[in-house]
């Protein structure tokens, strides 16, 4: 009985792409083995995804992740400083520097008594006579420098600084919230500097500038001005 099956039947796997049948070479044939054909432009590897027209599905590729925008750096805004506060701060720094300068002065330029300061001054020198109640001279601070006389009174943490010099056309202006007061030696004004009570006195050709620290009462400052006298 004849075998009706085909001698070279090739099974097809419908899950794979169809490849044309190539007969197996006969081992009895002589000659070099056939050279495989070079892949053409339409060649695709077996593992490559099929075209959308063949499968009915579109090939999906995940889009590249977009970088998150970085928030813009905030500009640091410097606080605005009012001119009045800036001037007040500058005066406070100058007062502190002056006090530190007096404390660190060499011995030969400080430590004078008020009588010695009076002799060194080429202008009328004034000092409290008598001293306000509770105050005393800090002699080591008393000094004479650059034609100006310096001395200080202290009552605990309260300090009254005096600077006397030739007036040279200067006035009692320059204080904050100033007001004129009565004085037996000349024009006087009381106000504030760096938030502390301060005063200026124009006694003839002498300008007396008075500053305080430690919250000296304005009444103490007024009594000190009223007690100012000169030996000349």
Taking every pair of Cα atoms in the chain, the longest distance, rounded to a whole number of angstroms, is 162
So what's the pLDDT on residue 50?
Answer: 52
So what's the pLDDT on residue 108?
Answer: 47
So what's the pLDDT on residue 107?
Answer: 43
So what's the pLDDT on residue 111?
Answer: 85
CA dihedral sign of residues 175, 179, 181, 186: positive
So what's the pLDDT on residue 106?
Answer: 47
* Distance separating alpha carbons of residues 193 and 87, to the nearest angstrom: 9
Q: What's the distance, CA 107 to chain centroid?
A: 39
Q: Tokens 């520097």 correspond to what residue?
A: 97
So what's the pLDDT on residue 180?
Answer: 92
Pull the structure tokens for residue 136.
Answer: 């005393």
Domain ranges within the chain, ordered by starting residue: 83-230
Pull the structure tokens for residue 39.
Answer: 């892949």
* Distance separating alpha carbons of residues 38 and 145, to the nearest angstrom: 106
E runs forming strands in the chain: 126-128, 136-137, 143-145, 148-155, 158-166, 176-181, 187-193, 196-203, 206-213, 228-230
E runs forming strands in 80-175: 126-128, 136-137, 143-145, 148-155, 158-166
Domain with residues 83-230, CATH architecture: 2-Layer Sandwich (3.30)
pLDDT tens for each residue of the chain, 232 residues long: 555 555 555 555 555 555 555 556 555 555 565 555 555 555 555 545 555 455 554 545 555 566 666 666 665 555 666 665 566 666 666 666 666 655 554 444 678 899 999 999 999 999 999 999 999 999 888 999 999 999 999 999 999 999 999 998 888 999 999 999 889 999 999 999 999 999 999 999 999 999 999 999 999 999 999 999 997 7
pTM of the model: 0.54
């Amino acid at each position: 009985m004849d075998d009706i099956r085909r001698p070279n039947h090739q099974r097809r796997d419908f899950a794979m792409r169809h490849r044309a049948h190539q007969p197996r070479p006969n081992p009895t044939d002589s000659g070099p083995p056939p050279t495989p054909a070079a892949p053409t432009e339409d060649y695709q590897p077996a593992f490559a995804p099929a075209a959308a027209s063949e499968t009915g599905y579109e090939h999906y590729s995940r889009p590249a992740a977009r970088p998150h925008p970085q928030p813009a750096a905030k500009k640091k805004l410097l606080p605005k400083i009012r001119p009045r506060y800036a001037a007040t701060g500058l005066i406070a720094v100058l007062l502190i520097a002056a006090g530190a300068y007096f404390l660190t002065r060499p011995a030969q330029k400080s430590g004078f008594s008020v009588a010695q300061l009076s002799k060194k001054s080429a202008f009328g020198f004034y000092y409290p006579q008598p001293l306000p109640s509770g105050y005393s001279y800090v002699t080591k601070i008393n000094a004479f420098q650059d034609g100006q006389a310096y001395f200080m009174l202290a009552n605990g943490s309260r300090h009254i600084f005096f600077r006397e010099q030739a007036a040279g056309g200067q006035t009692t202006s320059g204080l904050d919230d100033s007001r004129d007061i009565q004085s037996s030696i000349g024009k006087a004004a009381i106000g504030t500097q760096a938030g502390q009570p301060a005063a200026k006195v124009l006694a003839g050709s002498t300008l007396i500038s008075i500053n305080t620290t430690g919250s000296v009462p304005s009444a103490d400052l007024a009594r000190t001005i009223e007690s100012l006298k000169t030996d000349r």
